[in-house]
Amino acid sequence: MYLDLVFFDSVQELQPLAKKLGQDFIIAKTFRNDFELKQLKEKISSTAFKTCHVLHSPNMQELLKFRQKADFIAVYGKNLGRNKFAVSNERVDFLLMPCSSARKPEFDAALARLAAENKVCIGLLFEEFANAGSEGLQALLRNYLLVARLCRKFKIQIAVFSGAKNAFGTRQEKDFASFLCLLGYSREQALKQVRGLERFLEKKGKLEGFEILEGEKE
Amino acid sequence: MKNVKKSLKALPLSMRGKKRYVLFELFAEKPLSAAIVEKEIMQRFLQIFGSKGIAEQRLQFIGFYGGKNLGIVKCSLEECENVKAGLLFVGKVAGISAIPRIVSVSGSVKKLKTIAGK
């Protein structure tokens, strides 16, 4: 089963989408307290959806607080400090959008090496590319071509999520293999990345008893 | 006039280049029309890939089944992945939000029309 990361928690909209697109969702949010996380978990208890706490600052206390409670921990990048914090910490599962559309990318070989050592997955949010506009898109693509090259060199798991803020922002996760081809991956490499996310998370101990679909035809 | 060329000689099969047809679906609240979908696709591709990119892709809009919101585009084999990625950027068609999904890719349009017809 494919996993997509979204930023809205409307279960009424997500459930039919999960069935239609053949994937499950990780609901990402910056939870203010345990109660909010607990409420969301109760809401999604009848589904196979997961929760993810997103950090917007390099806050170790916040990370430790939500580490055992949320299913995943993500750090929203676009900043050298946050990127360094995320890749230096093996408790972090995803580093979302490490680069902005700035002239100098905020991700380099040193950070990539650390991300590979600590098994941090680089997450790309398709919504940001789709809403970038022509100038923003060329700057984003320029930076993420570099990120993709570093991920290939250092064998870092890369994942493309829709990052949707509403139902119409979601996409079928397996179609993102084509987006990885746009970033310089070969077709085989891209399919391996898209299909390998569940196994990567399973090896990290974040998913249990997950059925890996083998020999699935495109 | 005697030796006027009346028609173009057909390009040999080996020089035509390999092609692929991509069947895509747009989940939208309302049925969409072929004309506006074609316009939106071309605009988005122009924004992402530019004129040269579309020329290299040999992108051609084949048809759209308005009732099921299924469409078919033709592209060159080498640029098939880029075309599929480009289709993911089509999120709004004339103000109507839509979720694009790649249904199938085939070397012949007949097979896709059969899938679309079902």
Give the whole-number percent of chain A exceeding pLDDT 70: 95
Name which of A172, A176, A186, A191 to mutate to probe chain B: the one with the most chain B Cβ atoms within 10 A of its Cβ.
A172
Contact flag B88-A130 (C-beta cutoff 8 Å): yes
Is A176 at the interface with chain B, CB within 8 A? yes
Contact flag A175-B48 (C-beta cutoff 8 Å): no
Hey, how many other C-beta atoms are within 10 angstroms of the C-beta on B108? 11
Domain-embedded: residue B41: yes
| B42 secondary structure, DSSP code | H
Q: What is the pLDDT of residue B14?
A: 84
Domain-embedded: residue B1: no
Residue-number span of the structural domain to which B111 is assigned:
17-117
Q: What is the pLDDT of residue B17?
A: 87
The pLDDT averaged over each successive group of 10 residues in chain B (118 residues) is 75 87 93 93 94 94 91 96 96 92 95 85
Q: What is the pLDDT of residue A218?
A: 41
Total domains in the fold of chain B: 1
Domain-embedded: residue B75: yes
Asked if residue A217 has pLDDT above 70, the reply is no
Asked if residue A16 has pLDDT above 90, the reply is yes
Domain-embedded: residue B33: yes
Domain-embedded: residue B46: yes
- Give the whole-angstrom CA distance, residue A77 versus residue A203: 24
Task: Give A215's pLDDT tier (boundaries 50, 70, 90).
Answer: low
What token pair was written down for A107? 């991700």
Contact flag B88-A167 (C-beta cutoff 8 Å): no
- Give the whole-angstrom CA distance, residue A70 versus residue B55: 48
Domain-embedded: residue B7: no
* Of A18-27, A103-112, B11-20, the least confident: B11-20
Write out pLDDT tens, residues A59-101. 999 999 998 899 999 999 999 999 999 999 999 999 999 999 9
ipTM associated with this complex: 0.84
- Give the whole-angstrom CA distance, residue A198 versus residue A206: 9
Chain B residues with beta carbon closer than 8 angstroms to that of A162: none
Domain-embedded: residue B12: no
Strand extents, DSSP E, chain B = 19-28, 60-65, 70-76, 92-93, 96-106
pTM: 0.90
Please give the residue that has the higher pLDDT: either A181 or A133: A181
Chain B residues with beta carbon closer than 8 angstroms to that of A179: 85, 88
Write down all domains in chain A, each with its CATH number in brackets. 2-203 (3.20.20.140)
Closest-CA residue of A relative to B99 is A168
- Residue B56: give its domain's CATH number: 3.30.70.3250
